[in-house]
Structure 1
Amino acid sequence: MLQRDYMMRLIESMTDTLGQMMGLRKQQKQEEALALSGDLLEKLLRMKPELARKLSAGDLISMLGQRGTADPEDLRALGTLMSAEADTLEELGRESEAVSLRAKALHMHLAAEVEEQAHVSVLAEELGITAAALETEDQTDSDQSVKSDEAALLMERLGNAKLPRSTGLLAAAAAENRGWFDKAENYLYAMYEDGVGRSSDLQDFYTRLMLLTDEQLESGGLPREELELGLAELDRMKE
């Protein structure tokens, strides 16, 4: 309980920190902004910010969830902070560091979605209703769309940046869940071409989509004709 209270206080203080960072950045004091965010990052993870920024997304999640599964709000808080740091680094011309942090920020937000979906599934089973029905009820929360928008914005900002396999798979799954089938395909193909993806990732994706209606596929930006072309191309790549 004390640990949770401590984390909640840190998360509540983040709004002030982000506001102060924005003010410093407008004054062209990016290094001071990074020092400010570093202080909060150290409190969140209890390690030096220089080390924290170098950890993989998986290691960061492990640090947050040392006493079990990481809380979605903790994941989002870390993602939001790292996103602000990425923007600051970008302003300093440190592009590669900015992309790396932004990818980790995306991973945090998408991992939070996965944790929440798992919670919904368990709760729905206990209540004897479908997860979809329970999610519909949860969408009445005023901040639900904001949470999704943060992940979507990061996906947009990252564009075609090379992502680690774990992050790319999360991004592809998130795009598919949102009905953005063309974007999901792009993530999977990009990973495959970068040498971190597998043909089975694409095969499983296409197999799921073949079960959908033409209208659903059209709406998701991947008409059946293109889906079939993708399957044919995948077969050629396997030869």
Structure 2
Amino acid sequence: MINKDYILRLAEQIGYELSILVGLRKRNRYQDELLTIDNLLLKYTGMTSRFINSLSDELLLQSLSPLGKMNVDAGLWIASLLKEEGEAYEGLDNSNESYYRYTKSLYLFLELLYQEHVASDSGLYEEANQLIEKLSGYELPAHITQKLFRYYEQRGMYAQAENTLFDALEKQSSPALLEAGREFYQRLLKKSSTDLQLGNFSREEAQEGIEQIQQFES
């Protein structure tokens, strides 16, 4: 788990830079904002926006994980600044570019929250939830849908996890995802009725889910 004080210090530093970007955006200085974002990315990560956005999500994650685990500093800077870049493009009425930045940012936030088991009161969850809301009207790529499934279970939102699981299966059914679904329901069956109820779920629904998973295997 990331040290809470460390995250607070890093978030405070990022927040200071973001406040400057927000000021530019409020004055409709979107091009200046994009230039500033590029400079910040180069300063704090050694990578430009063009390079970052030229990589697939998977390749970007690999580049941030030289030892098999994401570099927290670089990952958080990139996730935060991509989100702001999406805001700038949204201000420019360029929905294609904003969507691309939002999905890449969400991908990194979800991976960071999963790998580091961030404290439940961290503001990083709010960042992720804002992105999920922004993208709620769009079709998400299969690899991000799969990470959302994992995220919802991690947060104890079991009904939403199930919905996202079947959304992912409809997009791209695979042996690995089917196995992840079976393991998900097995974990739920071991939980108390109270825990399941808090996640808007029940033991009966878990049993039904296992049967539905089997239908995808046939």
- Using the size of structure 1 for normalisation, the TM-score is 0.73
Change over 3 Å in CA distance of 1:52–1:223 after alignment to 2: same
The corresponding residue for 1:236 is 215
**Secondary structure of the structure 2 residue equivalent to 1:221:** coil
Deviates more, 1:183-192 or 1:69-78: 69-78
The corresponding residue for 2:189 is 210
Q: How does 1:1-239 map to 2 (within 5 A)?
A: 14-66=14-66, 69-117=69-117, 144-159=121-136, 161-195=138-172, 198-239=177-218
1:172-191 deviations in Å (ceiling 9; x for gaps): 22211110011211222221
Following the alignment from structure 2 to structure 1, what is the Cα–Cα distance between the partners of residues 61 and 216? 35
Change over 3 Å in CA distance of 1:115–1:72 after alignment to 2: farther
Q: Counterpart of 2:170 in structure 1: which amino acid? A: E
Unaligned runs of 5+ in 1: 1-9, 118-134
Tell me by how many angstroms 1:160 deviates.
Answer: 5.9
Tell me by how many angstroms 1:15 deviates.
Answer: 3.3
The structure with more radius of gyration: 1
| RMSD of Structure 2 on Structure 1 (CA) | 2.9
Tell me by how many angstroms 1:215 deviates.
Answer: 2.1
Tell me by how many angstroms 1:207 deviates.
Answer: 2.0
Change over 3 Å in CA distance of 1:237–1:115 after alignment to 2: closer
Q: Counterpart of 1:179 in structure 2: which amino acid? A: G
Change over 3 Å in CA distance of 1:54–1:221 after alignment to 2: farther
How many residues align? The count is 208
- Is the 2:114–2:151 Cα contact (8 Å) retained in structure 1? no
Following the alignment from structure 2 to structure 1, what is the Cα–Cα distance between the partners of residues 184 and 216? 16
Following the alignment from structure 1 to structure 2, what is the Cα–Cα distance between the partners of residues 226 and 160? 27
Change over 3 Å in CA distance of 1:160–1:205 after alignment to 2: farther
Q: Counterpart of 1:22 in structure 2: which amino acid? A: V
- Is the 2:193–2:203 Cα contact (8 Å) retained in structure 1? yes
